[in-house]
Structure 1
Amino acid sequence: MSIIVTGASGNFGRKAADLLLDKVPASELILITRRPAALAAYAERGAQVRYGDFDEPASLAAAFAGGQRMLLISTDQVGGERLRQHRAAIDAAVAAGVQQIAYTSFIGVGPDNPAISTVEHTATEAMLRACGVPYTFLRDSQYADAIAQFALPGALAMGAWMSSAGDGRIALVAREDCVACAVAVVSTPGHENKIYDITGPELLSYRDCVALAVELSGRPLAYDAVTDEQKLAFFDSIGVPRRIEDGMENSPIPWPGEEMVSFERAIREGHFAVLSDHVERLTGRKPKSLRQVCMENIDKLRLAA
């Protein structure tokens, strides 16, 4: 059973490749990347490392040839580019005879979700439903790693976490649990046309995250609840463009302001308040908690404090 992993030189893709090498013969692993040299170590282990670029659809026929299952890792492009890239990948997979496409989507997708970041996930899921190839949607929650490694240290350094998410809750999930679930779906049978919500073990508000940071760091940290307009004004004040088309080259944060504010609105309104046991069902182990992920990054928290 040949397994394709797209975006294989990225963080998620590399971790997936590492786990897959423990489950399937290396020769059955097809790793797609725009930078084959970056995956030379995997080629030395016997994996098929192939050039493929979603921005060059003609490159994908050879890249996907012979693959039977595919892990389609969502690209990091926004502003319409992601959807065009996903369309190219899906069309090429269908033409290549791929028999299952597992896609890394996001929890709470749907037409009523105000989060801009979910729009292209919703559209990609619709493409996959219509393409005729069995699909699996891996609807990952927000990474606990991002909270532990960036959000909380940044807040501790500033002395406050400003948020328009209010007391809305989300089940933060460890990236490694998301990867393990994706690997399980493409390396074992029975996941065709299934939807999995990949979440952590508990629903938490950002205020809960602040309380945990205070406990673990021993330093005070305020939770500054603001309106959407106030949060957007803050992003304006530090030079974050409101939209991707405004240019992101000099932005201190790699996401546009309106997208981030819409994400927090979605949390506040309950669109991401999804809790499931799918991590345990797919991997056989309970998902990591935010506390566990924070303890793995305790040095960053204490240094920031």
Structure 2
Amino acid sequence: MEHTMIIVTGATGQLGRQVVERLLTRVPADRVGVSVRDPEKAKAFADRGVRVRQGSFTDPAGLAHAFEGATQVLIVSVDKMGEEAVRQHRAAIDGAVAAGARRILYTSHMGAAASSHFEPCRDHAATEEALRASGVPFTSLRNGFYATSAMQFLGGALQSGQIVLPADGPVSWTAHADLAEAAAAVLADEGRFDGPTPPLTAGQALTFDDIARVATEATGRTFTRSTATDDGFRQQLVGHGVPAETANQLLGVFAAGRAGEFATVDPTLAALLGREPITLGTVLREQLSENGGR
């Protein structure tokens, strides 16, 4: 069998780390490399035989070394928004092309579109355009909305029982663990999807009304959902020290939700996993038990 080398970027982050973990159950460690900003943080992978190299999307020369010999590169999208995010993703794509990768994979998002109300979805659409223009076959993993984000929005509500958020729409909240497993499955079965995948979502789309009900059932405590105005929510965030730009981006989630951008439920993720995806109820119960439950 020819020598293959799968490079995963961002392998010390929440998603990337789990992708590498799952990949190591499918392919030998000497076929896996990681590109990370701080190699010290990836020592556990190095100890298992994974090739660890320093690489940053802001340093093209370093990326050439990190991506050397890659047959596939998984670009895990950065935790930035707007032009800076797209510029870094383009640098990573250029690095993968220069390294001679025969397929580039990218962690995109359901609802990726230039017209999205949510800035990251516009950034993902721009990155997918850059992938199309690269001339290299690509797979864009259209990940469902991370369930951890729902937890962040709930924040103090998990203690108070009062969920006060702007008007929303149904969202297919999806667990990192499932998306990591799916990414590993797609990397191990090269070429399984060409271009954007269908939305990789859990089995149901929930509003925060639904989440209040699920939380109530999970804990036996009463959770109530009330609606904040967009402006009131923005002011509250800014009052807590959130930069105005970030507050507007977060409001974009609710505008996009109301427009139905995250409401799609698709069976592709379940098919990749060979089981039903983890539900938000399960994520919520785990979170609540970590926080001391009742």
What interval of TM-score do these two structures reach, taking the shorter chain for normalisation?
over 0.9
The CA deviation string for residues 45-100 of structure 1, in whole angstroms up to 9 with x for no partner, is 21111111111111111111110011110011224221111111101111111111
State whether structure 2 residue 265 is matched by structure 1 residue 275: yes
Whole-angstrom CA distance in 1 between matches of 2:17 and 2:100: 24
The CA deviation string for residues 149-202 of structure 1, in whole angstroms up to 9 with x for no partner, is x44452132332122233x10111111111011111111033233423111101
Any gaps of 5 or more consecutive residues in structure 2?
none
Offset of 1:132 from its aligned partner? 0.7
What SS class does the counterpart of residue 211 from structure 1 fall into? helix
The counterpart of 2:242, out of the listed 230, 240, 243, is 240
Give the drift of 1:7.
0.8
Match of 1:96 in 2: 99
Letter matched to residue 207 of structure 1: D
Q: 1:105 aligns with which of 94, 97, 108?
A: 108
Q: Aligned partner of 1:288: which letter?
A: I
Please show how residues 244-263 of structure 1 align to structure 2 within 5 Å.
Answer: 256-263=246-253
> In the aligned structure 2, how far is the partner of 1:48 from the partner of 1:155?
42
**Which amino acid in 2 is paired with 1:197?**
P
How far did 1:221 drift? 2.3
Q: 1:46-85 alignment to 2 at 5 Å?
A: 46-85=49-88
* 2:223 is the alignment partner of 1:221: yes
For residues 151-230 of structure 1, the aligned pairs below 5 Å read 151-152=153-154, 154-166=156-168, 168-189=169-190, 190-230=192-232
Q: Find the residue that maps to 2:174 and give its secondary structure.
A: coil
Aligned length: 290
Letter in 1 for 2:171: I
User: 2:292 and 2:110 mapped to 1: Cα distance?
Assistant: 31
Which residue of 1 is the match for residue 38 of structure 2? Answer: 35
Report if the CA contact (8 A) 1:144-1:173 is conserved.
yes
Q: Secondary structure at the match of 2:266?
A: coil
CA distance in 1, matches of 2:155, 2:236: 19
Deviation at 1:271, TM superposition (A): 1.3
Partners of 1:268 and 1:226 in 2: CA distance: 14
Structure 1 window deviating more from structure 2 (75-84 vs 122-131): it is 75-84
Change (3 A) 1:302 1:213: farther
Letter matched to residue 156 of structure 1: L
SS at match of 1:257: helix
Question: Is 67-76 or 11-20 further displaced after alignment?
Answer: 11-20
> What's the % identity of the aligned pairs?
36
TM superposition shift of 1:301: 5.4
The superposition leaves residues 196-230 of structure 1 with CA deviations (integer Å, 9 ceiling, x where unpaired) of 31111011111100111122222222211133222
Structure 1's unaligned 5+ residue stretches are 244-255
| TM-superposed deviation, 1:302 | 5.1
Q: Which deviates more from structure 2 when the two are superposed, residues 33-42 or residues 123-132?
A: 33-42
208-217 or 289-298: which moved more? 289-298
- Answer whether contact 2:216 2:223 (CA < 8 A) is retained: yes
**Is the CA contact 2:145–2:262 (under 8 Å) kept in the aligned structure 1?**
no
Normalising by the residue count of structure 2, what TM-score does the alignment of the two structures yield? 0.93
The answer to which of 41-50 and 232-241 deviates more is 232-241
Cα root mean square deviation, aligned: 1.7
Question: Is residue 105 of structure 2 the alignment partner of residue 115 of structure 1?
Answer: no
Are 1:100 and 1:192, in contact at CA under 8 Å, matched by a contact in 2?
no
Q: Given the alignment, which residue of 119, 142, 147 partners 2:145?
A: 142
Which deviations, in whole Å up to 9, do the C-alpha atoms of 1:136-161 show, x marking residues without a partner?
Answer: 1111122223434x444521323321
